[in-house]
Amino acid sequence: MAGLSLRCGDCGVLLRSVEEAQAHAEATNHANFSESTEAVLNLVCAACGKPCRSQTEVDLHTKRTGHTEFTDKTMEAAKPIDLEAAPPKPAGEAMDVDASASAEPQEMVAPEVNKEMLADLEAMGFTTARATRALHFSGNSTIEGAINWLSEHQEDPDIDEPLLVPANTITEANKPSLSPEEMKIKAQELRERARKKKEEEERRMEREREKERIRIGKELLEAKRIEEDNERKRMIELRRLEKEEEKRAREKIRQKLEEDKAERRRKLGLPPEDPAAPKPSAPPPVEEKKRALPVRPATKAERMRDCLRNLKQQNKDDDAKVKRAFQTLLTYIGNVAKNPDEEKFRKIRLTNATFQERVGNLHGGIEFLQLCGFEKLEGNEFLFLARDKVDKAVLNTAGAELNSAITNPFFGVL
C-alpha cells in the first residue's frame, strides 16, 4: 500500500508531500524521512474554513476565535505520496528523501540507542519497539525524556512496529552531549538556580504572610472599634430609657397624688378642683416671730414609715433584698400579734445568722422593731418584747405600714 504521508524521523511530524518534506528540511535541518500509512490530520473549522493539521492547532484556533465546530476531512484530502514526481532539488541541497526516490534504494537498519536505558525501559514494562522509538526520537538523552515521548505518542498507529532508519544516518546515540566535568558544573548550576528560586519563593511567601498579618490586625482593630461604638450607643440608649422610665414613674406618682387629693376633697364634701382656675398667690412673707410655734412631734406610724423608707433607699439597687426584709419584719410582728403569750415569738437573738442576713445588717430594721416595743437585753444579745408591753394597736400599725411598703410599688421613691 502506498504511503499517505512522510514522517520526519527526527521530530515525528507528518508531511503531505515531498515538497513539504523539502521545506521542513530547509527550516529544521532534519534529514531523516520515511513513508507512513497514516494520513495527515485535516480538520476544517465550520465557521471560518481554516484547516488545522493537529489537535494543538485546533486548540489554539478555538482559544483565539472561540470556534468549536470542526469537520474532519482527513480521508478526503489524503493522497498517496508520489516519490517519482518530486521536483529536482536545488543545487547544494542534500536530502535523504532524494536518495529514497532514486533508482537505488537505501539500506534500512535499526537505530542505535543506549543499551542501558533500553534495558531500564524494558524493565518498566515497555516493549522493545516502543522503547527503541522513544529513545531514538528523544535523542537518547534521559529516561524521563523517553517516557515523556511515549506518553505523547502512545496512540500512534505504528508505535509497536520495529523502527528502521537509513543505514547512512549518523546518530550519536551513545555519545554523551556533555563531559563528566561539564555535567558536574551543569548540575551545580541547576542546584544553585533551584536554591535561589526556593529562597525567592520563601521571601515571597514571608511577604504574603506579613501582609496577611497586617490585614488581620487591621480587621481586628476595626472590629474592636465597631464593638466599642455599639457598646457606647447601647449605654446611651439604656440611659435614655431609664430617664424615660423615671419620668413615667414620676408622672404616675403625680397622677396618684392628684387622685388622692380629689378623693379627699370628695370625702370632705368640697367641690372638685378646677384645673383652669388660677392658683392662689402665695401670701406675703410674714416676719418671723420671736417666739416659734411648737412643732408637732412625729407619730410612731410616721417614724415606722421613715425607718422602712430609709431601709429601701439604702438598698434601692436590690429590690429582692428589701422585699425579703419587709416580709421578715412582717412575720415577726404577725407572730407576736397572734401569740402574745409565747415568749419564743417575743425574743430574737441578734447574733442569729438568718436574722443578721435579712434584717440585722440593714439600716432601719432593728430600729423598726424597737418602735414596736422590742428592747435590747443581756449585753445587746437579744431583742425582747415584754408581755406587759405588747400593744396590739402599735403592732397593727406596724403591720399596716409593712403591707403598704410591700404592695405599693412607689413606696420610698420620693
Kindly report the backbone phi and psi dihedral angles of residue 277, in degrees, each rounded to the nearest multiple of 5, phi listed first.
-70, 140
The answer on 397 and 302 residing in a single domain is yes
Number of domains in the chain: 4
Mean pLDDT by 10 residues, the chain (414 residues): 69 76 76 76 82 76 83 74 51 44 62 84 86 84 80 83 74 49 74 87 94 94 93 93 92 91 82 66 56 62 86 84 89 90 87 87 85 84 87 88 83 60
Q: Give the tens place of pLDDT for each residue, 311-367.
A: 888 888 888 888 899 899 999 999 998 998 888 888 888 888 888 888 888 888 888
DSSP string, 140-176: S--HHHHHHHHHHHTT-TTTTSPP-EETT----TTS-
Give the cell for residue 327: 416580709
The answer on 387 and 314 residing in a single domain is yes
What pLDDT, on the 0 to 100 scale, is given for residue 169?
59
Q: Which of 19, 52, 70 is the last residue of a domain?
A: 70
The answer on 159 and 183 residing in a single domain is no
The answer on 184 and 146 residing in a single domain is no
The answer on 375 and 322 residing in a single domain is yes
The answer on 365 and 399 residing in a single domain is yes
The answer on 257 and 188 residing in a single domain is yes
Q: Is the dihedral of CA 358, 359, 361, 363 positive or negative?
A: positive
What pLDDT, on the 0 to 100 scale, is given for residue 26?
76
Q: Which of 118, 144, 167 is the last residue of a domain?
A: 167
Residue 279, in any domain of the structure: no
Statement: the pTM of the whole predicted model exceeds 0.85: no
Q: Which of 267, 284, 306 is the last residue of a domain?
A: 267
The boundaries of the domain holding residue 245 are 179-267
Q: How many angstroms separate the Cα of 28 from the Cα of each of 32, 154, 185, 237?
A: 11, 24, 30, 84
Distance CA 161, CA 140 (A): 19
Q: Is the dihedral of CA 188, 191, 195, 197 positive or negative?
A: positive
CATH code of residue 361:
1.20.58.2190
The answer on 131 and 229 residing in a single domain is no
Nearest to residue 10, comparing CAs of 136, 159, 111? 136
